[in-house]
Amino acid sequence: MARWIVILTLALLAGWTQAKEAAPAAADPVLEARMQRIALELRCLVCQNQTIADSNAELAVDLRNQVREMISRGDSDQMIIDYMTARYGDFVLYRPPLKGTTLVLWFGPAVLLLGGLATLYVVLRRRNRLSPDQFEPDPDDQTPAMPTPAATATRTTRPHD
């Protein structure tokens, strides 16, 4: 047992000695910061709930490299975003513009929420109008029926021995 602990400890230490600090992707930290700012505006097309700055998918890495190339060529931020939008559509933008083709993205959640609340209101209102005898009783809430006087008169009681 002690031998396994020593082997495990050495294996963990070997990995720790190989660890290095990540090298910056760009020689110029200003260009890297600009790339990060642009990458935060673009959605990862694989993950869909992450920006390309946050994603580790191969496509996101390729898109980050492409943004770096475009920055080094001297393209403006708007030119880079326009290129990505032309290539991948408005879906690539983390905050798509408000226009006819993106109305569902902007107002769809609110419409669904209002529809759900309206349905809930209608169902509760209809249930409120029903009389209590139209509902099935819960098995836990069933109270024993009160015996009728005629049923108690026919019962005979025996004295306890």
> pLDDT tens digit string along 56-74?
899 999 999 999 999 999 9
Averaged pLDDT score across all residues of the chain: 82
Structural domain harbouring 107? 98-132
Residue 157 lies in a domain: no
**48 plus 65 within the same structural domain:** yes
**55 plus 111 within the same structural domain:** no
Q: Using alpha carbons, list the distances in angstroms from residue 139 to 56, 136, 142, 143, 144.
A: 53, 9, 6, 9, 12
Ordered per-residue pLDDT tens for the chain, 161 residues: 888 888 878 777 776 666 554 555 557 888 889 999 999 999 998 887 899 999 889 999 999 999 999 999 999 999 999 999 999 988 888 888 888 888 888 899 999 999 999 999 999 999 888 887 877 777 776 665 555 565 555 555 556 65
**38 plus 89 within the same structural domain:** yes
**39 plus 69 within the same structural domain:** yes
| Model confidence pLDDT, tens digit, residues 131-147 | 878 777 777 766 655 55
CATH of residue 65's domain is: 1.10.8.640
**How many domains, in total, are found in the chain?**
2
